[in-house]
Amino acid sequence: MLLEARKYLYDIQQAIELIDAFCAGKNFADYQQDAMFRSAVERQFEIVGEAISRLAQLSPELAGKLTEYRRIIAFRNILIHAYATIDDRIVWGVVEGKLPQLRAEVRSLLATDRD
């Protein structure tokens, strides 16, 4: 794996870890009521999406190993360009429903490269 591709995967992993830390012990009501919390989570999702976008440009095959990587990039674009229409329920749904799978896939790719 190219060093730059590994860096993007590491950036994704770091952003996921931050989202996990921000959300620990929190629920959707907490998310809705705290603008700083929402901003922090959204920012890390932007980093995830941007890193995957760059990974896809560098190594489409590697990016293709991440489930729904195109949707993740689209989600990033919505967070950045359509910020006024962000639905908190969707963001929280991604935190709870999609992030665990992405975390596992990124860990697997990083671990596989060490072998």
**Catalytic hit among 38, 70, 71, 76:** 76
**Catalytic hit among 43, 81, 103, 114:** 81
Rounded to whole angstroms, the Cα distance separating 44 from 39 reads 9
Tokens representing residue 22 in the block:
């921000």
Round the CA-based radius of gyration of the chain to a whole number and report it: 14
- Which helix (H) or strand (E) segment holds residue 76: the answer is helix 69-81
Is residue 76 among the annotated active site residues?
yes
Is residue 81 among the annotated active site residues?
yes
Active site residues: 76, 81
